[in-house]
Structure 1
Amino acid sequence: MSIESLAKSMVPKDKWNFVFIIFLINGIGTLFPWNMLINADNYFVNFKLNVTVPSEAVTDYRNHFLSYLGIASKAPNIFLQLLNLFINAEGANFSLRIIITLALQIGVFLFIIGTAAVNSTSWPGLFFWLTMGSAAAINTANGVYQGCIYGIASRFPGTYINAITIGMNLSGMIASVLMLISISVSHNSQMEAIVFFSFAVVLLAVCLVAEFFIIKSKTDQSAVEFREGEEPKETIEISVSELKPENLPPLSKYLFVIRCIWPQLLNILLIYIVSLSIFPAVAARIPSTDGLLNERYYSSVFCFLFFNVFVTVGSATAQFVQWPGPRWLVLPVLLRVAFIPFFLYCNYQPSDTLVRTVPVLFKHDWMYILGIVALSWSSGYLSSLTMIYAPKAVPKSLAATAGMLGALTIIVGILIGINTALIYPRLFSKS
């Protein structure tokens, strides 16, 4: 028997793909709150904040709602992921942290449902800040949750790490479908929001139940032994045996991991900056020019649903095809920067109160749709490759730290991308 065959024979069997499914479910949970909030953009902007006599502040809240939502969501998310990373990353009780954070997220979504049920016409400014506070609270808890899930999965083979990435991308598709269902079964925007956010409570409860299955099966205790010999063809140049990372002090261990995986961290950062500077702040502001679909559904289908379907397809593709390797992955990552001018020169309309000042070069709906497909598929595929490659570049004992650093970099990339989107209206329009 060959060494490779022997190594594979020693890997515990995942009967019925149970462990894979558990990670997939928790992957859905890691970005589901964010996707639920951004998919409800129309409810927040055109219902709750669309008052008869808006103040200058409320008008600003409406024009830049998605960007403000992103800042409120991702800034505390980064802080808590950092805190979670430095508090005993390798020996932490991840399961307890996950249970607590999921329970907190469920509680905040119940509060959001409560604000949807009341009439806030006379206090739109207060409603805006309550919404921002809710987003901050949810994503504070979610930052710990996401870091813990990646920390556990990074002790597993790359297939299981990618299960989380697939789940993250699948969460957007599920949120988009649930929004379409909520629109179709509701007679007004208020009921639509109540139904929609109720789905969030149900799905996060499912993630909570799934975590109890992880504890029962002692998944995270056996995970250290559940690793294949599937390393990238191109190995890092750092000699692990020479540096002996297990003997380093805590801060030096983090620096060692960063030194090993910085190319993948840079790739992750660039992927998410490009994607999140376009989606959803720009892509959701590109209306139909050909009347391909009713305007009520156009953005929900061709922006949110299409993006999330094809980002999931891209992540799933990485399960079977892992090319290019770690060294050359930066090339397609850099090429994706071209998506930014492409979407800005589609029929991008910054807001109701700003007038576009540059010509539209890509006028037809099919151009925009093809762009969404290419943007989302490449985002899912390349981000999955980076998260697969990163933990393989360090010793097994530091794989959880590498995974958590990757998860943290995702949120940093999202936050930078969201803030970058604030620049585009100033470049392409005037009041």
Structure 2
Amino acid sequence: MMAPPKDRYNGVWLIFFMLGLGTLLPWNFFMTATMYFTSRLAEPTSDRLAPADSDGEDLAPYNVSLGNDTGMRSLEPPRTQLQSKFNNVMTLCAMLPLLVFTCLNSILHRRISQNIRIAGSLVAIFLVFLLTAIFVKIEFSPVTFFTVTMIKIVFINSFGALLQGSLFGLAALFPASYTAPIMSGQGLAGTFAAFSMICALASGSALEDSAFGYFITACAVILLALVSYLALGKLPGMDSKLLPLLVALRLVFLPLFMLCNVLPRSYLPVLLAHDAWYICIMLLFALSNGYLASLCMCFGPKKVNVQEAETAGAIMAFFLSLGLALGAGFSFLLRILV
């Protein structure tokens, strides 16, 4: 049993929370997106409106509702076989690999290192979601799309089972209180997926664009869970060289924001056109800002003598304000460069 970790600012707690969120988030995102998946399984139709015949009979086997003044009937095609069976087959393709790989994990943990099982599973899940987002923009026949989707569900739940079993094994090496954030993260997964879908639909975008943003959001969360795991055991301490490095790395956000869909623009191309990119970048920007700024403000006064701590705190507050002012000023220059 490992000695209880020195958990500065609940950093380890938050990491386990993110990892718990990452275990069930993939499956919840797939379950919540059934409207998108079933819409891709519909047979292509060229006309959604057709008049009734002279005898008042339907011209095709469609679900019919009378129009108000147009004398036309709004036609909705019946559900196809693939659409009708989607939820049942999806559940089967999810639960079977979940059961199998949960059992296999008791054997694999002795043959495959913990880092590979956890980080490798997160990378695999991230790649599946990235492919899912890309496939939103690619046309498939209903049968091909159905098959590809089921294969992705099998992979998602196989790696999810390995991730969940390995994560609880990792938590067992820590004090019992670190199991609670894993359960809390898993509990949030369903709510987060539903909230993301509501936001995607409320955006008013076409179903294709909403689905793309929805799956990119999942990619961002899984990536954040992976980064959280890699940070476990490497949390920046007061004397850590990692802290100034992470602060300097935040400069990468400047070109990323400039390549988003900011209009009007005169010079730079738009490489990150969808709003989902901007949201994900802003999410990472905000989280890193709050976390790193808090560490700097907490560690700074402790680097000097006790009698100088108050002065150091005041100086740090001044430079924090100076940074905000300089950022506001340089924003005009960056806007011109765009």
1:82 is displaced (CA, Å) by 1.9
Letter aligned with residue 30 of structure 2 = L
Paired residue for 2:283?
none
Alignment partner of 1:114 out of 110, 119, 134: 134
Runs (4+) of structure 1 moved beyond 4 Å?
10-13
Alignment partner of 1:135 out of 153, 162, 167: 153
1:48 is displaced (CA, Å) by 0.7
Q: Which has the larger radius of gyration?
A: 2
Task: Provide, for residues 384-430 of structure 1, a one-character-per-residue CA deviation record: whole Å limited to 9, x for no partner.
Answer: xxxxxxxxxxxxxxxxxxxxxxxxxxxxxxxxxxxxxxxxxxxxxxx
Indicate if the aligned counterparts of 1:95 and 1:215 stay in contact, CA closer than 8 A.
no
Q: 1:190 to 1:81 in 2, by over 3 A?
A: same
Matched residue SS, 2:80: helix
Alignment partner of 2:99 out of 78, 85, 93: 78
TM-score by length of 2: 0.55
Q: Report the Cα distance in structure 2 between the residues aligned to 1:25 and 1:181, rounded to whole angstroms.
A: 21
RMSD of Structure 2 on Structure 1 (CA): 2.4
Letter aligned with residue 150 of structure 2 = M
Task: Provide, for residues 83-128 of structure 1, a one-character-per-residue CA deviation record: whole Å limited to 9, x for no partner.
Answer: 2211345x963122211111111111121112211233xx101111
Q: Report the Cα distance in structure 2 between the residues aligned to 1:100 and 1:215, rounded to whole angstroms.
A: 18
Paired residue for 1:399?
none
1:188 is displaced (CA, Å) by 1.3
Q: Report the Cα distance in structure 2 between the residues aligned to 1:110 and 1:88, rounded to whole angstroms.
A: 27
Q: Report the Cα distance in structure 1 between the residues aligned to 2:161 and 2:112, rounded to whole angstroms.
A: 15
Paired residue for 2:22?
29
Q: 1:186 to 1:95 in 2, by over 3 A?
A: farther
Indicate if the aligned counterparts of 2:21 and 2:185 stay in contact, CA closer than 8 A.
yes
Letter aligned with residue 191 of structure 1 = D
Indicate if the aligned counterparts of 2:4 and 2:174 stay in contact, CA closer than 8 A.
no
Paired residue for 2:116?
96
Letter aligned with residue 103 of structure 2 = L
Matched residue SS, 1:216: coil
Alignment partner of 2:174 out of 137, 149, 156: 156
Letter aligned with residue 192 of structure 1 = S
Q: Report the Cα distance in structure 2 between the residues aligned to 1:124 and 1:109, rounded to whole angstroms.
A: 19
Matched residue SS, 2:43: coil
TM-score by length of 1: 0.44
Give unmatched runs, 5+ long, in structure 2: 46-60, 62-78, 237-338
Indicate if the aligned counterparts of 1:76 and 1:139 stay in contact, CA closer than 8 A.
yes
Matched residue SS, 2:232: helix
Indicate if the aligned counterparts of 1:51 and 1:124 stay in contact, CA closer than 8 A.
yes
Indicate if the aligned counterparts of 1:29 and 1:207 stay in contact, CA closer than 8 A.
yes
Indicate if the aligned counterparts of 1:102 and 1:208 stay in contact, CA closer than 8 A.
yes
Letter aligned with residue 83 of structure 1 = L
Paired residue for 2:11?
18
Paired residue for 1:62?
83
1:30 is displaced (CA, Å) by 0.1
Task: Provide, for residues 364-386 of structure 1, a one-character-per-residue CA deviation record: whole Å limited to 9, x for no partner.
Answer: xxxxxxxxxxxxxxxxxxxxxxx
Task: Provide, for residues 5-42 of structure 1, a one-character-per-residue CA deviation record: whole Å limited to 9, x for no partner.
Answer: xxxxx855422111111110000000011011011011
Alignment partner of 2:228 out of 210, 215, 235: 210
Matched residue SS, 1:61: helix
Q: Report the Cα distance in structure 2 between the residues aligned to 1:60 and 1:108, rounded to whole angstroms.
A: 26
Letter aligned with residue 36 of structure 1 = F
1:140 is displaced (CA, Å) by 1.6
Matches within 5 A, 1:3-402: 11-45=4-38, 47-52=39-44, 59-89=80-110, 93-120=113-140, 123-216=141-234
Residue identity over aligned pairs, in percent, reads: 28
Indicate if the aligned counterparts of 1:36 and 1:200 stay in contact, CA closer than 8 A.
yes
1:215 is displaced (CA, Å) by 4.4
Q: Report the Cα distance in structure 2 between the residues aligned to 1:196 and 1:186, rounded to whole angstroms.
A: 13
Q: Report the Cα distance in structure 1 between the residues aligned to 2:109 and 2:25, rounded to whole angstroms.
A: 26
Q: Report the Cα distance in structure 1 between the residues aligned to 2:6 and 2:233, rounded to whole angstroms.
A: 18
1:61 is displaced (CA, Å) by 2.7
Aligned length: 202
